[in-house]
Chains A and B, each alone.
Chain A
Amino acid sequence: MDAKAEGRAALDIAGWQALLDRHSAIFAGMLPGSRIGLLPEEDFESPAAMMLVWEATGNGMVADYRCFPGFEQAAVDLLFVADGETLGRLHDRANPAPLADLKRKVRRRETLLYVVKPRATLLELGYEEFLDSLGLAFMGACR
């Protein structure tokens, strides 16, 4: 098993699913098929990059690993690119406020959030609560 596969094994799907289940209220309004991607920063340029996908199913969010085929084919609405430590903290069941951590990292631009779909589409897909929880209503333009 290579190091990247080992890393994914450490951040197992069960752990991600537990995170999504714990914070289900934030995702409750999302329409089925809405998808959020999380990509390890070190994999960003790799042709074999794997991303974690959180997908709304109509019956809660489901976590899964998929190939990252590049921005155009990624088929996600939002894409977080984060370092291993951030992903580890997010995955950590002992972390009392994992999404607050993510929000902080995004605000500091230590985690990059690509807004793949237009804002209006995101709102139609039910992302309002999630974007709100990340403090993205008006972020960063021209500091």
Chain B
Amino acid sequence: MTQRPGETQLPHLFEPVTWAGFALKNRVKYGACCVSNYNTRDGFITERELARTKVIAGTGCGIITNQGAYPDPLGEGKAYFSQIALFDDKFIPQFEKIAGYIHDGGGIAIQQILHAGRYGGIDLGYCIQPSVVPQTLPHFRPPREITKEQIRETIEQHAEAAKRAIKAGFDGTEITSFMGYLMATFNSKFTNRRTDEYGGSTVNRGRFMRELIYAVKAAMGGAHPLVVRLNGAELMDRWGGNDEDECYALIQQAAECGADMISVTVGWQEAPDSSIGRDVPPGHWNRLAVRAKQLLPDTPIAFGTRLPDPIMADSCIAEGQFDFWEVCRPLLADPDLVKKAAEARLDEVKRCIGSLNCLSRLFRDLPYTCTMNPALGHEVEPEYQITPAAVRKKIMIVGAGPAGMECAIAATRRGHHVIVYERGERIGGSLLGYAAHDLAHKDDLASVAEYYRVMATKLGIEVRLGTVVDPKMMRSVLHQFDAAVVAAGARVDLQALPAPEEEGLLVEAMDVALGKRQPGRRVVMLGGGKIGLTLAESLKSSGTEVVVVERERRIAGDVMPTWKWRHSAWIDELEIPTMTGCRVTRIAKDGVTVIDAKGRETTLPADMVIAASPARGNQELFAELEWSIDELHGCGDAMVPRGLTQAIHDGYRLGCRL
């Protein structure tokens, strides 16, 4: 078969290999890192899930791991609101479909069996783990100590679930101690304080894992491989968890028991440090895979934690750091990532930006979605698919931010002729300002704007930069368009703030963020939401004194739930004072006067006051365009200012139905 250009450029990643007797087309393993929450409350798979799985099956990965199914009828192992189950033969027909899809796509099908242990029992009033060590996150259930009889039952349940997976047509299974699930709670000193043969030494703590491996392998039979996911680092050692040496001793035990692949993961849910967020640089954890490979040169090692880049993955494989690139979130953001890599079209990849929108939703018991991929989870709905337009239209889009560009790309792919008008000099809108000041990893957010630039070029979308759409301009294009989309973003509602006593004292956050205004040396930031915080953190890092004033009781109110702690931590680390529950009463040359909930007045000295909120949509064009165009629509922050995820989703959905 002829090699595609990217396969030549990334020869290690795309090298066909044999693993456990199975011929694989490449060294990419789709990781079961997320449970979708698309299924029924009693563990059955829905049409929504099946449609999603067809997309996963088509990603082009050599190995595809289906999301974790809990193995026990009581649901002690159930971690997520709508997790799939495999504790009974009644579930087998649906798993047959999934295995079939994966095989049709040319992948090897692995079913993960996930007993969540400490994070399980979501429908119960408790969870089970080796010892009663209370939760440190309020989301989870109080623990009960698992008895020896329950240990035997649980192992049997895993084995039976594995047998069902094989019966359904899966090629192998995976067991997981990722993040603090049941196996991890036995392995870790943090949660295992038993004094019997399952607790104490590393060998004793690993006993449950070893018995599990033996039982599952015996249940499956020799022809079916078992993958074991284990922490290379728990990040819990500060509080009595395993150090890395102990983690690797356990990894070695798993290999010696016959694990056919070790998937190395990082961190517990309750760990103090980031492991997968945008604030962790790509490649940061690769050393953990290297250590596993050095320890176990003959055992295949899969790795992918915060390693979103196929080029880096190819290099790692070439250098012998690991054997398989395990990837999940990047394939949520762009299911065609592997194909695009194979076709040398990486510039067309929508990157996972590590917003953790997926996990924020899971821990609110919602189906997961993706900031970057609006169709994720809606594969079963025609309304979310790009289909040829019944009537080809000429469409003007006002604004080249994420909402406008998503709309433009979707509409163009459907066959419409689209022209985008942008008052700024670059594609990206306010995202450019936000990206420039992101302390986490500027390149991730900047990549979104770059993706739009590339796609506009490749799809032939005309983007007229430096063009203001106003009544005069509209008269010049009258009757040239069938539809207009206002995606003009939002601005700060200055009318909601006291008028500054001197001109130039009050500036808009985005003007500073985009470099149109130089910040002062002593700044008061009005608004402790994501825009205000991001800019405040960046300014403080550059030496500006900043105080954040927020009207609400708490900062970061509009920030993604799994990212709030990050801003709070930066605010602490940078020692940025925050005044919450405060209303601004005066903006003068000597500073800003605020009044708190108890009526106490404070004047904060400042040579610049930056307004980051409240935001209001730029909607003036609706009135201007109403009687000059056939169809008029709006999307993104112009309608309701909510941020990047909603802008992308709004724009895409509108583009799909214009």
Contact = CB atoms under 8 A, between A and B. Distances in A.
A71 B564 contact: no
Contacts of A138: 139, 363, 561-562, 564
Interface in A32-86: 44, 71-72, 79, 81
A119 B133 contact: no
B356 A142 contact: yes
A89 interface: no
A141 B239 CA distance: 17
Contact of A143 (B133, B134, B274): B274
A49 B330 CA distance: 48
Contacts of B132: 71-72
B136 A115 contact: yes
B562 A113 contact: no
B136 A113 contact: yes
B272 interface: yes
Nearest to A81: B239
A98 B565 CA distance: 20
Contact of B134 (A115, A119, A141): A115
A118 interface: yes
A131 B138 contact: yes
B138 A143 contact: no
A117 B136 contact: no
Nearest to B271: A143
23 contacts: A71-B133, A81-B239, A104-B572, A107-B569, A108-B572, A109-B272, A110-B272, A112-B136, A113-B136, A119-B139, A131-B138, A135-B568, A138-B363, A140-B269, A141-B137, A141-B139, A141-B270, A141-B562, A142-B179, A143-B267, A143-B277, A143-B356, A143-B565
Contact of A71 (B134, B274, B566): B134
B48 interface: no
Contacts of B138: 115, 119, 122, 131, 136, 139
A124 B410 CA distance: 49
A114 B136 contact: yes
A13 interface: no
Contacts of B272: 108-110
B142 A142 contact: no
Nearest to B572: A104
Contacts of A125: none
Contacts of A110: 272
| 5 shortest interchain CB distances as A-B pairs | A109-B272, A114-B134, A119-B138, A143-B274, A116-B134
Interface string B563-575: 0111011001000
- Classify the secondary structure of A's interface with B: loop
Interface in A90-140: 104, 107-110, 112-119, 122, 131, 135-136, 138-140
A141 B560 CA distance: 12
Contacts of A107: 565, 568-569, 572
Nearest to A121: B142
B451 to A, nearest CB: 25
A84 B221 CA distance: 54
Contacts of A140: 137, 269-270, 565
Interface in B270-285: 270-277
Contacts of A109: 238-239, 271-272
B554 interface: yes
Interface of A: 44, 71-72, 79, 81, 104, 107-110, 112-119, 122, 131, 135-136, 138-143
Nearest to B119: A141
Interface in B128-172: 132-139, 141-142
B141 A141 contact: no
Given A109-B238, A114-B135, A143 B142 contact: no
B137 A143 contact: no
Q: Which of B137, B359, B566, B572 has the most CB of A within 10 A?
A: B137
A35 B270 CA distance: 23
B93 interface: no
A135 B568 CA distance: 10
Nearest to A100: B572
B471 interface: no
B375 to A, nearest CB: 23
B125 interface: yes
Interface string B223-261: 000000000000000111000000000000000000000
Given A104-B572, A112-B239, A135-B568, A141 B135 contact: no
A29 to B, nearest CB: 16
Contact of B141 (A72, A118, A142): A118
Given A109-B238, A118-B142, A142 B276 contact: yes
Interface in B554-596: 554, 561-562, 564-566, 568-569, 572
A90 B163 CA distance: 55
A112 B271 CA distance: 10
A118 B133 CA distance: 13
A14 B161 CA distance: 58
Q: Which of B138, B267, B272 has the most CB of A within 10 A?
A: B138
Contacts of B274: 143
A143 B276 contact: yes
B569 A108 contact: yes
A110 B363 CA distance: 24
A135 B554 contact: yes
Nearest to B268: A142
Nearest to A122: B138
A141 B270 CA distance: 6
Contacts of B269: 140-142
Given A122-B138, A135-B554, A140-B269, 16 more contacts: A44-B240, A107-B565, A108-B572, A109-B272, A110-B272, A113-B136, A118-B125, A118-B141, A131-B138, A139-B138, A140-B137, A141-B137, A141-B269, A142-B179, A142-B276, A143-B267
B572 A116 contact: no
A116 B140 CA distance: 11
